[in-house]
Every structure is written in C-alpha cells, then in structure tokens.
Amino acid sequence: MLLEEALREVGDFGRFQWLLIVYLCVFVAPLRVLPLFGHIFSLLVPPHRCRLDPWLQEALRGLRNATADDADLLLDLALPREPDGTFSQCHMYDANSTLALWFDVAGGSTRVVNASAITTGVRAVVPCQFGWEYDFSYFYPSVVSEVRTLPW
C-alpha cells in the first residue's frame, strides 16, 4: 500500500487540518519570530547629535527660520565635525559663555555676528554634557532614544 492510499484510508485533508495550518501560520509563527527580531526595531539608534547648551539651543530654534548656513554655522560653533563632514554624535566643544557675545539677539532675530573669531581658536572637545537630540524624520522613537543610554 502506498502512502497516498494509506492517507486516503485514514482520512483526507479536512477542515481540522486547514484550521491547524491557519492557526500555526497566523498565530503561532509570528509569536515565535517576534522575540528574534524585536530587538532590531526596539534598539534602533536614530541619527543624533549632542544637545546644545540651553541658551545655544534657543539660538538654534531662532535660526530654524533662517538659512541652513546660519544654523550650520551655529552648530559648527558647538559641535566638532567627523572626518566624513557630519557632526560628531558623542562629542561637543566645551561650552563657553563668551560665545553668547557673538550672537545678535536684538529685534527678535538670532544670527551669528562674527563666528570667525570663535572658530580660529583651539577649543576643548568634551563628551556630550546636556544629553542628545535625535532626528526622528526617518525613524520612530526607540528604547535608545527614550532611555538616553548613548554612547555605549
């Protein structure tokens, strides 16, 4: 007796077998795979940079309506650049209150008056002191951005 004949004698593929396949494919398989791939989505590190000193952060918010060059100039004053040209994700320049003298905040606008005097000197690079600012334009908030455990 062949296997097919034996299966026909026992019973064809019936409703119970279909329900079992649906149950396994829809309910069991995703729940078994979720723990394997869940850490990929929950521990995703979005693009980030050091959060600036509070008064520099306010100046940066004021520059959001200005040109991108002005905002980049302000970030250049506070954050070192990596060799690839992006801002450092874990280091910042040591904040100095004399930087405030180089901003013109009169008339409700914030703009850099003379940045060349600041960028010519040698400044100390320190780890992020005020936490991190995350860019959620491509990614959603994750455990890393909520707990703020950077850098590892």
| pLDDT score, position 102 | 53
**Any domain includes 152:** no
93 shares a domain with 66: yes
- How many helices and strands, by DSSP H and E, does the chain display? 7, 6
Local structure of residue 57 (DSSP, 8 states): H
Number of domains within the chain: 2
**Any domain includes 106:** yes
Could you list the residue range(s) of the whole structural domain that residue 10 is in?
3-42
Q: Which of 30, 10, 28, 12 has the alpha carbon at shortest distance from 20?
A: 28
Amino acid present at 82: E
100 shares a domain with 25: no
| pLDDT score, position 106 | 42
| pLDDT score, position 38 | 75
**Any domain includes 66:** yes
Amino acid present at 42: S
**Any domain includes 13:** yes
pLDDT tens string for the chain (152 positions)?
Answer: 688 888 788 887 888 989 999 999 999 988 888 788 777 777 777 888 888 888 777 766 766 566 666 667 778 878 888 999 888 888 988 866 555 545 554 444 455 555 555 555 567 888 988 888 888 888 777 777 777 655 54
| pLDDT score, position 30 | 84
Residues 55 and 96 sit within 8 Å (Cβ to Cβ)? no
State whether residue 31 is helix, strand or coil. helix
